[in-house]
Amino acid sequence: MAITFVLTRSVVPPVPAVRPTPSAGPFAPPVEQVWPDAMHEIPGTTPGGRAFSPQVFVSSRVVVGYGITRNRPDSVWSYEVGKRRFTSIVRPDRLRGLSLVSGDGHLAWWAVRDRKMEIWVVPVTGGVPRRLASVAGMMSSNNEIVGADSLAIADDAVVWSPAEGGVYRLPLKGGKPTLMSGTRGLHLVEWPWAGSPRDARLPGPPVARPMERLKNVLTGEIRNATAPLAAGRGTSAG
């Protein structure tokens, strides 16, 4: 058996007598000229003087966010960027919770009370918030209460994953949460995708790797993800 060796050497290009002068070239036009719909001027305070923190666009011209007092969200407002008008959705002191999401003409969020996760909804046009569910919470390694992960609104229902896994669905009109078929042990990542293994923040045996298996809970499609190798580590095959 013959073995062929190929020897190579690097060639360093000569240094030019006159170094080139860097040039930035013509400046790009402002983003508001290239993409006008990407730029909006939104007031920093709501009527009454509360700080306004935009969270989510519920349409191309309406943004919903929190009214904040003493660094604490205590109300929900919408703002129409065309009419430059605020509308109160959840009155001050009726808001308990965070993680505001929108869909199907409603807003939803979770709140913590007595170590439980409460899921609340209200129409985007405003009204009295309704508590849809109260689910068990669990203390994470970051001293956070988890139990309504990746809350979303889809197909006239709220969907989420509790701490122990599974994807649950509860109609906006009310009822009992139901475990979606084929989702036991999975954790919702972003609707309609759920994955495993579980959240590394939760108590229990250490989870040394990120989610490696994703499933579309509507179609059943499976996607496998391979985490990049850590620096200095290789692979082995048996």
Around 148, how many Cα atoms within 13 Å sit in the side-chain half-sphere? 30
What is the domain count for the chain?
A: 1
**What pLDDT does residue 3 have?**
36
Q: What sign has the CA pseudo-torsion 177, 182, 185, 186?
A: negative
Residue 81 included in any domain: yes
Taking residues 31-56, report their average pLDDT: 85
**What pLDDT does residue 39 have?**
78
- Tell me which residue has tokens 């509790």: 162
What tens digit of pLDDT does each residue of 120-176 get?
999 998 888 899 988 776 655 554 556 677 899 999 999 998 878 899 999 999 999
- Return d(Cα 90, Cα 51) in angstroms, integer: 15
Q: In the predicted model, is pLDDT for residue 97 greater than 70?
A: no
**What pLDDT does residue 230 have?**
52
Q: Quote the domain boundaries for residue 88.
A: 42-95
**What pLDDT does residue 238 have?**
41
- Return d(Cα 226, Cα 26) in angstroms, integer: 42
3-state secondary structure of 150: strand
Residues 6+ apart with CB under 8 A from 126: 87, 88, 89, 90
**pTM higher than 0.85, yes or no?**
no
- Return d(Cα 102, Cα 152) in angstroms, integer: 7
**What pLDDT does residue 224 have?**
87
Residue 60 included in any domain: yes
DSSP, res 170: E
DSSP, res 194: E
| Helix (DSSP H) and strand (DSSP E) numbers for the chain | 1, 18
Q: In the predicted model, is pLDDT for residue 75 greater than 60?
A: yes
- Return d(Cα 57, Cα 177) in angstroms, integer: 27
Is-contact 195 211, C-beta < 8 A? yes
Residue 153 included in any domain: no
- 234-237-238 Cα angle (round to 5): 145
Q: How confident is the model at residue 95 (pLDDT cuts 50, 70, 90)?
A: low
- Return d(Cα 25, Cα 41) in angstroms, integer: 30
Residue 119: Cβ within 10 Å count: 24
User: For residues 161 and 30, which has the higher predicted lDDT (pLDDT)?
Assistant: 161
Residue 219: Cβ within 10 Å count: 8
Taking residues 53-68, report their average pLDDT: 90
Q: What sign has the CA pseudo-torsion 114, 135, 145, 52?
A: negative
**What pLDDT does residue 49 have?**
92
Q: How confident is the model at residue 74 (pLDDT cuts 50, 70, 90)?
A: confident
Around 45, how many Cα atoms within 13 Å sit in the side-chain half-sphere? 5
- Min mean pLDDT across 25-29, 46-50, 86-90, 187-191 is at 25-29
Residue 68 included in any domain: yes
- Return d(Cα 32, Cα 165) in angstroms, integer: 43
Taking residues 12-34, report their average pLDDT: 64
User: Whole-number mean pLDDT of the chain?
Assistant: 77
**What pLDDT does residue 155 have?**
94
